[in-house]
Chains A and B, each alone.
Chain A
Amino acid sequence: MSVALGSTCGYRNAMLPALVGTVLFLVVVAATIGRPRGIPEWASALAGAAVALALGLVGVEEAVRAVAADWNVLAFFVGMTGLAAVAERSGFFGRAAELAERLAAGSGRRLLLAVLGLGVVISAFLSNDATALILTPVVYGLVVSLGIDALPYVLACTFIADAASLILPVSNPVNLLVLDGLGLSLPRYMLAIEPAALAAAGLTAAALALLFRRGVPARIASTTALRRAETPVARTPRVWAGLAVVALAFVAGGLLGAPLGIVACAGFAFLLALEASALGRLHRRPLDGVSWPILGYVGGMVVLVAVLERLGVVERVVGSVLGWAGESPALAAISSSVLAAAGSNLVNNVPMTLIMVSGIEGAHLSGPVREAAAYGTIIGADLGPNLTTVGSLATVLWLLILRERGLEVRPATYLRIGLLVTPPVLVVSTLLMVAMLR
């Protein structure tokens, strides 16, 4: 019974399975975003993949092959989240926030600029997730204890995290998903994308500084700067030096085309060793902070997108958009950038990137058009989530439900900023990338 759906219908009469596959995908996406009854997103994604296998929408071997093809990205997630956790334990982020405070010299505006600068550097070398998930709470702690409105600083961190995530292949896992999936050269990517990457980070930082200039105090009043001693964090400066080495390894690995998942895991091991040498023993739980659930989430999504690909759904969506672009690399870049950005806001950028990669792969494009579409996808999937900083329109709907239950939420601020800042940054970056491709 379980295999009936896939085998009898197959490719020739794919209407019903295509419909079932699409509905399954959308239900799983909704569950990963809304998390009904607190079901974690990795569980929804894996359950969705299991259902797809049980219905025969995709074969076991095919599913395994699809997941295995993304080994580098999966390894990267393990290495990078582990690396960031060791960095946090070493007091690196706290120290960085203190540096920002010192650079600010009592000016709220300079503090905002310093936080933005910090966000760019951390996103570039430790990925956007490190900025959004580790730097943001640290900055919040700092700013709140200074007794000033923390919202501009928190929003600055969250926006710059994604805006700076084109700078290196390691700045956003999505970059690796595309580069690996389409077998593109890392060095070429870095050359083609760098002006666009710097423009995206610079323009976003400038726009945020401008938008918040009245919201941050010109002077941080001395009467309220009665800061108590922070809870002491173990400071292991040799880990900070190790971080610099890992950062260089990421740049070198990118330029030499090394698999960055392995570089990240090696860097993680290296930092653990440095930490152990400072502590005199290995950290009690060395793997703490590695986001294992991401493996389940990405793995499940890879299988579900393989279903969509197999049933011809991806071809219909991505293929038709790319078909419109024809033989023009510029049009292919622009259309894939817009599609990836819009899709990222609907279903989150990881599944959307998988869909785009599969669509570009299946569209049999000529070399330059394929490359332009790939880079366009990276730009759209990296910067697109900033359109609605919550990452997906579905989340906004979910927030509205929360509000009905009496939980006060204010989507207006970030929606306004996202809608104002992101589209121009997206357009400028895409055009710069197209110009570099020529």
Chain B
Amino acid sequence: MAEQALALVAVAGAETEQFWERVRLLLPPGIRVELYHVVDEAPAWELGMQFARRPGHPRPPGLDARVREAETRGSDAILAGARTAIGRSATEALGRGRPEREIVSRAANVGASLVVVGARPGEDRTAPEPHSLGHVSRFVVDHAPCPVLLVRL
């Protein structure tokens, strides 16, 4: 049996029902699907910097565990939501780091034939707007090693 083509669907948590409707419509039936979520390390890093910039206030011992726990809860919820919404069998993967870079390198590593990313909705949700590509989607469009499907959120 020939290797099946793979579509990498990047999920960030802001996806709407409309987004999933369009994804279900547009993904070819035969393609394998991987739902990929990246935990952005920037906010947690910024949080840690608050202790670095305030001498005399040590990082409380349980903080890192609490941060990880919240991140796991969030990414579990996001992947679970995506699993239900996509309405077909899909594998799941979780990354950490800068989402835009992780998505691009994941696409290269798994040999994806297609990357699906969301584009922000306009104010009135009917027409595209300037800046409707966030910095993550923008980077993926510019650097992905394969075709990119932009789906409005």
Number of A-B contacts (CB under 8 A): 148
Chain B, 6-50, CB within 8 A of any chain A CB? 12-17, 20, 40-47, 49-50
Whether A294 contacts B56 by the Cβ 8 Å rule is yes
Whether A149 contacts B73 by the Cβ 8 Å rule is no
Whether A390 contacts B53 by the Cβ 8 Å rule is yes
Chain B residues with CB under 8 A of A225: 77
Chain A residues with CB under 8 A of B60: 289
Q: How far apart are the CA atoms of A390 and B69 in the complex, in Å?
A: 25
Chain B residues with CB under 8 A of A136: 47, 50
Whether A390 contacts B52 by the Cβ 8 Å rule is yes
B92 interface residue (CB < 8 Å to A): no
User: Interface stretch among A251-259, A406-414, A427-435?
Assistant: A406-414
Whether A132 contacts B43 by the Cβ 8 Å rule is no
Whether A223 contacts B85 by the Cβ 8 Å rule is yes
The residue in chain A whose Cβ has the minimal distance to the Cβ of B85 is: A223
Knowing A214-B131, A223-B85, A414-B46 are in contact, say whether A293-B56 is a contact too (CB < 8 A). Answer: yes
Give the distance to chain B from A114, nearest Cβ to Cβ, in Å: 18
Give the distance to chain B from A83, nearest Cβ to Cβ, in Å: 14
Whether A390 contacts B81 by the Cβ 8 Å rule is no
A204 interface residue (CB < 8 Å to B): no
Knowing A151-B42, A348-B55, A390-B53 are in contact, say whether A224-B14 is a contact too (CB < 8 A). Answer: yes
A148 interface residue (CB < 8 Å to B): yes
Q: How far apart are the CA atoms of A41 and B53 in the complex, in Å?
A: 11
Give the distance to chain A from B9, nearest Cβ to Cβ, in Å: 14
Chain A residues with CB under 8 A of B40: 149-151
A42 interface residue (CB < 8 Å to B): yes
Whether B57 contacts A294 by the Cβ 8 Å rule is yes
Residue with the highest number of chain B CB atoms closer than 10 Å, among A385, A391, A392: A391
A389 interface residue (CB < 8 Å to B): yes
Knowing A133-B51, A136-B47, A390-B53 are in contact, say whether A141-B70 is a contact too (CB < 8 A). Answer: yes
The listed residue (B57, B66, B81) touching A224 by CB distance below 8 A is B81
Residue with the highest number of chain A CB atoms closer than 10 Å, among B52, B80, B120: B52
Whether A350 contacts B55 by the Cβ 8 Å rule is yes
Chain B residues with CB under 8 A of A141: 66-67, 69-70
Q: How far apart are the CA atoms of A207 and B98 in the complex, in Å?
A: 26
Q: How far apart are the CA atoms of A154 and B63 in the complex, in Å?
A: 15
Q: Mark A196-240, 1 if CB is under 8 A from B, else 0.
A: 000000000000000000110111010111111001000000000
Knowing A140-B47, A158-B46, A389-B53 are in contact, say whether A224-B77 is a contact too (CB < 8 A). Answer: yes
Give the distance to chain A from B70, nearest Cβ to Cβ, in Å: 4
| B contact residues, total (Cβ < 8 Å) | 48
Q: How far apart are the CA atoms of A81 and B57 in the complex, in Å?
A: 9
The listed residue (B16, B76, B97) touching A221 by CB distance below 8 A is B16
Q: Mark B70-96, 1 if CB is under 8 A from A, else 0.
A: 110110111011001100000000000
Chain B, 120-153, CB within 8 A of any chain A CB? 120-121, 123, 131, 134
The residue in chain B whose Cβ has the minimal distance to the Cβ of A77 is: B56
The residue in chain B whose Cβ has the minimal distance to the Cβ of A141 is: B70
Chain B residues with CB under 8 A of A45: 55
Whether A395 contacts B77 by the Cβ 8 Å rule is no
Chain B residues with CB under 8 A of A293: 56-58
A72 interface residue (CB < 8 Å to B): no
The listed residue (B16, B49, B50) touching A223 by CB distance below 8 A is B16
A297 interface residue (CB < 8 Å to B): yes
The residue in chain B whose Cβ has the minimal distance to the Cβ of A411 is: B49
The listed residue (B16, B70, B123) touching A140 by CB distance below 8 A is B70
Whether B77 contacts A392 by the Cβ 8 Å rule is no
A147 interface residue (CB < 8 Å to B): yes
Give the distance to chain B from A100, nearest Cβ to Cβ, in Å: 15
The listed residue (B17, B70, B123, B131) touching A145 by CB distance below 8 A is B70
Chain B residues with CB under 8 A of A77: 56
Whether B45 contacts A221 by the Cβ 8 Å rule is no
Q: A150-B40, A150-B43, A224-B14 are in contact. List 11 more A-B contacts (CB 8 A).
A: A137-B66, A137-B67, A140-B43, A144-B70, A144-B74, A147-B77, A214-B131, A217-B14, A218-B123, A293-B56, A350-B55
Binding site for A on B (CB under 8 A): 12-17, 20, 40-47, 49-58, 60, 63, 66-67, 69-71, 73-74, 76-78, 80-81, 84-85, 97-98, 120-121, 123, 131, 134
List the 7 closest pairs (A to B, CB-CB), nearest first.
Answer: A147-B13, A294-B56, A391-B53, A141-B70, A297-B56, A150-B43, A41-B55
Show 26 A/B contacts (Cβ-Cβ < 8 Å), sorted by A: A137-B47, A140-B43, A142-B70, A144-B71, A146-B13, A146-B74, A147-B74, A149-B12, A149-B14, A150-B43, A151-B40, A223-B17, A225-B77, A227-B73, A228-B77, A293-B56, A293-B58, A294-B55, A296-B56, A389-B46, A389-B53, A391-B54, A395-B52, A408-B41, A410-B98, A413-B42
